[in-house]
Amino acid sequence: MRARVRAWLDDDGGRRRWALVLAGCVLALLLGTLRGAGLTDDDDFYAPAGISYIRWAGSALTARDGAWTRAQIDRAFEPNHEHPPMAKYVMGASWWVFTDVLHVLPTLDGARAGVSLLAALLAYVVASLGWMLRRRWGAVTAVLCLFLLPRFFFHSQVATLDVPVASLTTLAGYLAWKGRRSGPHAWGAAVAFGAALLTKLNAPFLLVAVVLHWLLRSWRGFAVSAGKLTLPPVPVTLPRMILVGPVLFLALWPHLWFDTVPRLGAYLQYHLKHYPIYLYYLGTLYTQTIPPWHVPWVMFVAVVPSTVLVLMLLGAGGGARALWREATAAAPLPPDDDTERDSLRAFLFIQAFIAIGIVSFTGVPKYGGEKLFMPLFPLVAVLAADGAATVAASLGRWMKDARVCRALPTGLAAVHAAWALWSSYPFPLSYYGEAILGPRGAEALGMENTYYDVADKDLALWISRDAPAGARVHFEPNHKEYVRTWGWLARDGYLRTDIRTSDEANADYVVLTHERRWNTYAGLAARYRTLPVVHERTLDGVRLYTVYRRR
Amino acid sequence: MADTEVAPGPMLTTTPPASAAPRPAAWPAVVFALAVAWAGAHRACTADGPVTDSRLDAVVEAVGQAAPQALVVVHPPWRTDVADALRARLGARDVTLALPADALDGRRPVVAVRWPRAPGPGALWRLRLDGERDADGVTVSFHAGALGGAPAPAAAAAAPSAGGGAWALPGALAAAVVQVRGGREVDCNAWDAAAQRWNCPGMDEWNYVGLRTLPIAGRGRACLWAHPVTGATLSIRFPKVALGKALLVGHGLSDGAAGAQGGQPVDLAVTAGAAARALRHPNVPGWAEDRVETPGGGMADVLLEVTTPHDGARHFCVWLEVEP
């Protein structure tokens, strides 16, 4: 048995061993710093829903409490039924393990650990893809270029659906690629695609990438003869994904087991007619209208450290080149290793373009910085491995030592990104890269300096230390979100339980987050200007929030 | 790290003879080196310039040329020290670090004081530039009105005209009494003259009554934002309105909110003296207009009461005119 495990780990030059080590490092880093991550306004939606779902699953598996009745299912799956349950199952399961059984994490962190577990799965997949392109350095580069991105790191620690859907779509894409020739991988792709569908609505677009890539490789096989259309061989993955994915979607979302058609219709309608969410972008406030198409592209360039960005763009350029070569070749390219790698680059490029394109070129609301196109980042991180190799080859013009050439781009980019993460923590959502002159440049140009109404744990600690007994705190401009998240901070031991949120009239402290996407911000800032400032948080000199003593 | 792996790509292969493969291009390394250098050097582009007396004097002298009601905005927004110093010297002038809604829309003249070394400000790109002065290295620019394509001034362009010219909603708003009653008791008594709205202290940001331009039925419509509150009544009282034959009442939901999944109807009760009428706006797009007869005219308070079973995405807007 041990020999078989060792052989499995050592296969393909040790790809799995390296991927597991890298995934383990990522998981350790995420779990080790989990307590520092602030709360988003989504944590309170997804974590309790996940706990409700997993409690039902426990009852269902043991056939207790009438779990299989419609009443119990509807009750358990009512919370957050706007989104499918897969990521919330994982959050609920990790809450059960870390909080309910092991008692090593408080409630919300227990659920959030589930997202970190999915992020570790993503690290494994990204390392594997990086290995397929550039072996060991590729795996290392891809993982570093993804998980040291400040904003991606933050999203990997909070109870939201964006990293989970990035994780599962990347996994499904990876298996779809491998499944072109392997039966088990094709089934794996189908199951992973179902899991991705069960996570968030951007998952179905993976099929578009798979189909486009198939057309790209196989267009020469289409023929019309005597009025009959002949198709090239369809990869085994595709029909399995199309058939198994939706079946899993329905089978594993009990909310859809009753009134299936109207509830499915409501799910689609909710997202097709999503209410507008405020966005402050290049000095313009978008409150009712859909922001312009270039928002996600500009945000992508703006939130990635410059060195990592160059590697990603170089890699994406290689992907585009591979796509062009594959599409325009007069005859099918020979199936050797180089061609396969080029084909993988093209596939990753198509996926990446679709991941950001569906946000950019459709009428969906654009908000929340980079969160809506999170599946882009793993793909460009893998392509960054190619970018690093290109730079390394270029450095070879001047340097003889190939190891130094390989280490320099990856090492410098990793150190730079790690510094970016370190210096912005615990506010990675406020990080901006050098392409936009950092947080200062972004603030000056009129970009959001934060979003997601992050409840900062440092603020909770400060106020727990300094505030008088029974202190009342009011938040502006968006108080209601902090009512929910500060409740969690108190329950989980980050905040003194006698400190409460309150309306402004009864507040001892007012916390003003400097978010200009609220059109009341300017008036509020003017109103509080005369109050004494007792605490302030800045990033690179840019004010994120200010605490005023009201009485 | 052992170096025994199979070499699959160009960089990992054993260096071939120079004649067998083209030499790698230099530009990727150069671009990467520039990115590394830029990571260290970019800070110089946003470094804080000093605040000196001579500079402040020059700025104050330049700002003095602007209209008295012009808003002075200091840029970049983190220069609280500059804003404080200018407030001390400019006295009554309104000095801010962030533009309020009326200035963003071009409804209020703006003087931008751009301290050296900061990009932007993005918020001014949509405003018409009327002039610019250098004040000891500080750029002072004068702006009035929005550029073409910018949102129209809320109280002007798309606003229906008030009937008879005697009573007009935009002007009457400042005298209105706005309250949330029922489930919550809040006096929305925080008048924001710049934004032309009554804010409701302690409530959510969207709980205000004020002039907005909303996309309704595919076009921008100036109207009175009156977002209802679950379990409470939003009450807007216009005192001593000179009534005519009738009140013309327009109402609608913004295009983004109308038809929202699970969206509830909004009820609007209109009372004008002895006349009263209950109106309902269903969860559908479009702008509806109703007529409330006010026989005999005379002077009376006009009361609008807005309610809904659930306030999710109820971006409700109303308009009132007096039919003479």
pTM for the whole thing?
Answer: 0.81
Which residue of A437, A505, A516 is in closest CB contact with B98?
A: A516
Handedness of CA A479, A506, A531, B212 (dihedral sign): positive
Q: Which residues contact A392 (CB under 8 A, 6 or more apart)?
A: A402, A405, A406, A408, A409, B11
Q: Give the pair of three-digit tokens for residue A45.
A: 């939606």
Could A288 and B255 be called an inter-chain contact, meaning their C-beta atoms sit closer than 8 Å? yes
A381 shares a domain with A272 = yes
Closest alpha carbon to A357 in A484, A247, A205, A509: A205
The four Cα atoms A333, A335, A338, A343 give a dihedral, to 10 degrees, of: 70
Is A189 part of a structural domain of the chain?
yes
Contact A305 B39 (CB under 8 A): yes
Instruction: Establish if A427 belongs to a structural domain.
Output: no
Which residue type does B313 have?
A: A
Query: Which residue intervals of B135-255 are DSSP H helices?
Result: 169-172
The shortest CB-CB distance from A135 to any of B6, B99, B259 is to: B6
Helix, coil or strand: residue B192: strand
Does some domain include residue B165? Answer: no
B195 and B304 belong to one structural domain:
yes
B226 in a domain, yes or no?
Answer: yes
User: Is B274 a member of any domain?
Assistant: yes
Residue type, A497: T
Q: Is the residue at A365 inside a domain?
A: yes
| Residues shown for chain B | 324
pLDDT by 10s per residue, chain B, length 324: 333 333 333 433 334 444 567 889 999 999 999 999 999 999 999 999 899 999 999 999 999 888 877 899 999 999 999 999 999 998 878 899 998 877 777 777 899 999 988 887 888 887 888 889 999 999 999 987 776 433 333 333 333 333 334 577 777 887 888 999 887 788 887 777 666 788 888 788 788 898 877 778 777 677 899 999 998 999 999 988 888 888 889 999 988 788 877 889 999 999 998 888 999 999 988 888 888 988 888 888 899 999 999 988 899 999 888 887
Question: In this structure, is residue A423 part of a structural domain?
Answer: no
Q: Touching check for A431 and chain B: CB below 8 Å?
A: no
Q: Does A542 touch chain B (CB under 8 A)?
A: yes
Residue A451 lies in a domain: no
Q: Are A234 and A357 members of one domain?
A: yes
**Is A432 contained in some domain?**
no
**Could you tell me whether strands B177-182 and A533-539 are parallel, antiparallel, or unpaired per DSSP bridges?**
unpaired
- Find the distance separating the first CA and the last CA of chain A, reported in whole Å: 70
AA identity, residue A343: S
3-state secondary structure of A1: coil
- B194 contacts in A (CB within 8 Å)? 522-523
Q: Which pair of tokens denotes residue A484?
A: 């929910």
Of B129, B146, B163, the domain-final residue? B146
Work out the angle between the directed axes of helices A205-218 and A306-328 (0-180°, nearest 10). Answer: 50
Burial of residue A378 (CB within 10 Å: 0-12, 13-18, 19+) is buried
CB contact under 8 A, B12 and A135: yes
Q: In this structure, is residue B10 part of a structural domain?
A: no
Answer whether B118 sits within 8 Å of A444, measured CB to CB.
yes
Are residues B109 and B178 both part of a single domain?
Answer: no
- Same structural domain for residues A114 and A196? yes
- Together in a domain, A472 and A395: no
Contact residues on chain B for A403, CB-CB shorter than 8 A: 3
3 state DSSP class of A59: helix
What pLDDT does residue B149 have? 37
Inter-chain residue contact A434 with B15, CB threshold 8 Å: no
- A394 closest CB neighbour out of B25, B38, B101: B25
Rounded Cα–Cα distance for residues A374 and A383 (Å): 15
Q: Over pLDDT 70: what percentage of chain B? A: 85
Residue B311 lies in a domain: yes
CA distance B234 to chain A (A): 18
Contact status of B69 with chain A (Cβ, < 8 Å):
no
Last-in-domain residue among B88, B111, B146: B146
Distance from CA of A291 to the nearest CA of B (A): 13
Same domain, yes or no: A394 and A489? no
Q: Same structural domain for residues A411 and A501?
A: no
Cβ of A309 and B1 within 8 Å? no
Q: Tell me: do B205 and B319 sit in the same domain.
A: yes
Instruction: Work out how many CB contacts closer than 8 A connect A with B.
Output: 216
Say how many C-beta atoms besides its own lie within 10 A of residue B40's C-beta.
11
Measured between alpha carbons, how far is A45 from A277 in angstroms, rounded to an integer? Answer: 17
Domain co-membership, A300 together with A373: yes
Q: Indicate the number of domains in chain A.
A: 2
In which domain, by residue range, is A134 found?
A: 2-418
Q: Would you call B202 an interface residue with chain A, using a CB distance cutoff of 8 Å?
A: yes
Evaluate the CA torsion angle A331, A337, A342, A343 in order and state its sign: positive
Question: Are B196 and B291 part of one and the same domain?
Answer: yes
Shared-domain flag, residues B287 and B187:
yes
B194–A306 C-beta distance less than 8 A: no
Structural domain includes residue B207: yes
Q: Which of B5, B11, B143 to mutate to test the interface with A (most CBs of A within 10 A)?
A: B11
Strands B186-187 and B177-182: antiparallel
Q: Do A269 and B261 lie within an 8 Å CB cutoff?
A: yes
Place of tokens 């309608």: A269
- Asked if the Cβ–Cβ distance from A440 to B76 is below 8 Å, we say yes
Cα gap A438→A311, rounded to integer Å: 18
Q: Answer yes or no: do A160 and A56 share one domain.
A: yes
Shortest Cα distance from B78 to chain A (angstroms)? 5
Is B188 in CB contact (< 8 Å) with chain A?
Answer: no
Q: Do B121 and A283 touch (CB under 8 A)?
A: yes
Nearest-10 crossing angle of helices A43-61, A479-491: 50
Query: What does the alpha-carbon distance between residue A496 and residue A461 come to, in Å, rounded to a whole number?
Result: 8
A 10 A CB-CB count for A501 gives: 19
Same domain, A413 and A466: no
H helix intervals, A306-430: 306-328, 337-360, 376-395, 402-424
> Of the residues B106, B130, B146, which one is the last residue of a structural domain?
B146
Of A418, A433, A468, which one is at a domain's C-terminal end? A418
User: Which chain B residues have a beta carbon less than 8 Å from that of A542?
Assistant: 77-78
Nearest CB partner across the interface for B32, out of A275, A310, A437: A310
User: Is the same domain home to B119 and B187?
Assistant: no
Task: Give the structural domain span for B92.
Answer: 53-146
Task: Give the whole-angstrom CA distance, residue A200 versus residue A166.
Answer: 9
Q: Which residue has the tokens 């096989």?
A: A221
Q: Which two tokens stand for residue B212?
A: 């907005």
- B2 in contact with A at a CB cutoff of 8 Å? no
Whether residues A389 and A256 share a domain: the answer is yes
Residues of chain B contacting residue A514, judged by C-beta atoms under 8 Å apart: 77, 98
The answer on B184 and B84 residing in a single domain is: no
B230 lies in some domain = yes
Residues A385 and A494 in one domain: no
**Ordered per-residue pLDDT tens for chain A, 551 residues:** 889 999 988 888 899 999 999 999 999 999 999 999 999 999 999 999 999 999 999 999 998 888 999 999 999 999 999 999 999 999 999 999 999 999 999 999 999 999 999 999 999 999 999 999 999 999 999 999 999 999 999 999 999 999 999 999 999 999 999 998 778 999 999 999 999 999 999 899 999 999 999 998 888 888 888 888 888 888 889 999 999 999 999 999 999 999 999 999 999 888 777 767 889 999 888 877 788 999 999 999 999 999 999 999 999 999 999 999 988 887 777 778 888 999 999 999 999 999 999 999 988 888 899 999 999 999 999 999 999 999 999 999 999 999 999 999 999 999 999 999 999 999 999 999 999 999 999 999 999 999 999 999 999 999 999 999 999 999 999 999 999 999 999 999 999 999 999 999 899 999 999 999 888 898 899 889 999 999 999 999 999 999 999 98
Q: Which of residues 274-313 of B touch A (CB under 8 A)?
A: 313
How would DSSP label each residue in B43-106?
GGGGPPPP--HHHHHHHHHHHTTS-TT-EEEEESTT-HHHHHHHHHHHTTS-EESS--HHHHTT
- For residue B227, give the CATH number of its domain: 2.60.120
Cβ contact (<8 Å) for B28 and A288?
Answer: no
Residues B136 and B180 in one domain: no
Residue B168 belongs to some domain of the structure: no
Q: Which of A273, A282, A398 lies closest to B260 in CB terms?
A: A273
Which of A364, A434, A503 should be substituted to probe chain B, the one whose Cβ sees the most B Cβ atoms within 10 Å?
Answer: A434
By C-alpha distance, the chain B residue nearest A274 is B260
Whether A266 and A405 share a structural domain: yes
In sequence order, the 6+-apart residues with CB closer than 8 A to the CB of A96 are A54, A58, A110
> What is the least distance, in Å, from the CA of B196 to any CA of chain A?
12
Same domain, B319 and B251: yes
CB-CB neighbors (< 8 A) of B35 in chain A: 306-307, 309-310, 434
Predicted pLDDT at B188: 87
- Is A337 in Cβ contact with B8 (below 8 Å)? yes
Co-location of B121 and B229 in the same domain: no
Neighbours of A270 (CB within 10 A): 17
Domain count, chain B: 2
* Token pair listed for A510: 């007012």
In sequence order, the 6+-apart residues with CB closer than 8 A to the CB of A499 are A463, A464, A467, A470, A471, A472, A473, A490
Name the one residue in this structure whose structure tokens are 């909310």. A255
Give B-chain residues touching A516 at CB under 8 angstroms: 98
ipTM for the predicted complex comes to 0.93
Same domain, B127 and B69: yes
Kindly state whether residue A284 falls inside one of the protein's structural domains.
yes
Alpha-carbon distances, residue B110 vs A280, A432, B73 (angstroms): 19, 28, 7
The answer to whether B109 and B144 have CB atoms below 8 angstroms apart is yes
Question: Which of helix, strand or coil describes residue B159?
Answer: coil
Is residue B136 domain-shared with residue B191, that is, in the same domain?
no
Nearest alpha carbon to residue A26 among A109, A110, A108, A113: A113
3-state helix, strand, coil in chain B (%, to 5): 20, 35, 45
3-class SS letters over A163-220: HHHHHHHHHHHHHHHHCCCCHHHHHHHHHHHHHHHCCCCCCCHHHHHHHHHHHHHHHH
Would the CB atoms of A523 and B39 count as touching at under 8 Å?
no
Residue B133 is predicted with a pLDDT of 92
Cβ distance A397 to B26 less than 8 Å, yes or no, reads yes
User: Which two tokens mark A76?
Assistant: 């358990």
- Among A357, A389, A418, the domain boundary falls at A418
**Residues A182, A135: contact at Cβ < 8 Å?**
no
Distance separating alpha carbons of residues A392 and A137, to the nearest angstrom: 11
Tell if the CB–CB gap between A525 and B97 is shorter than 8 Å.
Answer: yes
User: Is the residue at A92 inside a domain?
Assistant: yes
Token readout for A114 is 């589930």
Exposed/middle/buried for B150, CB within 10 Å: 0-12, 13-18, 19+?
Answer: middle
Helix axes A162-178, A376-395, angle to 10 degrees: 60
